[in-house]
């Protein structure tokens, strides 16, 4: 296993206490890549040297450190992003956590998710996304994930505390890790030695696809994501390599140039 390649992403957490507690349980189980997609209160600059004024971010981090205890180094080294796409961009595989039933995505329990993280982290960065405390991840946010994970709970109360959910997943990852000296994880079937596609490249592909298919009149301009969501799921099932996605991206760029040069209906180019 490569713990440094497993990103645990907290998407717009509302509680600084939960962020600190999440950092603490991550360190308990040997994980260190904490990523926070932050609301505006987290996005401000840190305290200005030589002034007595603390920003909202300073206050949030101070509260988080009280809960993190001896895991404050994870908070100090945490990546903080304003956008989920940026937070998961370097990853090659992303799983979103949710208590809702989600169609069109591979569904995993925590133990199965941990096995995937251990296997895939041998080839590239991977990420698990935890939604904000009140609403969790939206459908649009889950569309950015290749799989979903639900932690089994009692039907009478299926919503877990954010830090507790992080603890469950972190424990399962530690449990799934091979013992020291064990053989490295095998590459996914059919991949060979090619690197898996990074999410940032896949997202560039979808941005280009929306532009090209929209220009060709294939997409409903009122709801272009309806068709693109089906294409996303198809590509996620294919589990493409970086080279394969770059080939598709190059093909779309070529088509885009052709569409720009094609005559319009009024006879102009």
Residue 159 has pLDDT above 50, yes or no: yes
For position 192, what pLDDT does the model report? 60
Query: What average pLDDT does the segment 96-116 reach?
Result: 91
Cα 126 versus chain centre, distance: 8
Position 39 scores a pLDDT of 63
Share of the chain above pLDDT 70, in %: 84
* Secondary element (H or E) of residue 213: helix 199-215
Quote the pLDDT of residue 269: 42
The yes-or-no verdict on residue 118 having pLDDT over 90 is: yes
pTM of the model: 0.80
Please indicate whether residue 96 or residue 192 has the higher confidence score (pLDDT).
96
Q: Which residue has the tokens 């009478």?
A: 156
Average per-residue pLDDT for the chain = 85
How many C-beta neighbours within 10 Å does residue 212 have?
Answer: 20
CATH entry 1.10.8 includes domain 199-261: yes
Mean pLDDT of 88-101: 94
Q: What is the pLDDT of residue 265?
A: 53
Q: What gap in Å lies between CA 206 and CA 125, rounded to an integer?
A: 20
Region 83-104 average pLDDT: 92
Indicate where the chain has its CATH 3.40.1280.10 domain(s).
3-176
Position 267 scores a pLDDT of 46
pLDDT at 152: 94
Where are the domain boundaries for CATH 1.10.8 in the chain? 199-261
- Cα 95 to Cα 79: distance, rounded to the nearest angstrom: 18
- Domain 3-176 adopts which CATH fold? Alpha/beta knot (3.40.1280)
pLDDT at site 55:
59
pLDDT for 101 equals 82
Strands 147-149 and 107-108: parallel
Q: What is the pLDDT of residue 232?
A: 86
Phi, psi of 5, deg, nearest 5: -105, 5
Task: Give 136's strand partners.
Answer: 132
Neighbour tally for 89: CB within 10 Å: 19
Q: Number of C-alpha atoms within 13 angstroms, CB side, residue 202?
A: 30
Instruction: Tell me the per-residue pLDDT of 161-207, one tens digit each, with 9 for 90 and over.
Output: 999 999 999 999 999 998 776 665 565 555 566 888 999 999 999 89
Per-residue model confidence as pLDDT tens digits over 205-264 = 989 998 888 888 888 888 888 888 888 888 888 889 999 999 999 999 998 888 775 555
pLDDT in tens, 30-79: 999 999 998 655 655 554 455 444 556 677 778 899 999 999 999 989 99
- Check: CB of residue 218 under 8 Å from CB of residue 230: no
pLDDT score of 229 = 85
d(Cα 127, Cα 83) in Å, to the nearest integer?
15
């Amino acid at each position: 296993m490569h713990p440094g390649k497993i990103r645990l992403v907290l998407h717009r957490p509302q509680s600084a206490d939960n962020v600190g507690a999440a950092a603490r349980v991550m360190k308990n189980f040997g994980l260190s890549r904490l990523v926070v997609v932050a609301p505006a209160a987290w996005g401000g600059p840190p305290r200005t040297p030589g002034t007595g004024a603390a920003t909202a971010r300073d206050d949030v981090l101070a509260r988080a450190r009280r809960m993190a205890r001896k895991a404050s180094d994870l908070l100090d080294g945490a990546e903080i992003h304003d956008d989920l796409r940026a937070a998961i961009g370097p990853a090659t595989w992303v799983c979103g956590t949710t208590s809702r039933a989600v169609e069109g995505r591979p569904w995993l329990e925590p133990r199965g998710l941990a096995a995937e993280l251990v296997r895939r982290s041998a080839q590239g960065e991977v990420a698990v996304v935890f939604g904000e405390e009140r609403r969790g991840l939206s459908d649009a946010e889950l569309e950015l994930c290749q799989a979903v994970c639900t932690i089994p709970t009692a039907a009478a109360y299926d919503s877990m505390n954010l830090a507790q959910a992080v603890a469950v997943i972190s424990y399962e990852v530690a449990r799934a890790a091979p013992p020291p000296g064990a053989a490295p994880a095998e590459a996914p079937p059919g991949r060979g030695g090619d690197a898996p596609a990074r999410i940032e490249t896949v997202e560039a592909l979808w941005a280009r696809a929306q532009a090209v298919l929209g220009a060709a009149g294939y997409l409903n301009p009122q709801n272009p994501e309806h068709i693109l969501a089906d294409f996303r799921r198809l590509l996620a099932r294919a589990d493409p390599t970086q080279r394969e996605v770059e080939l598709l991206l190059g093909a779309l760029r070529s088509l885009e140039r052709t569409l720009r040069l094609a005559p319009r209906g009024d006879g102009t180019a």
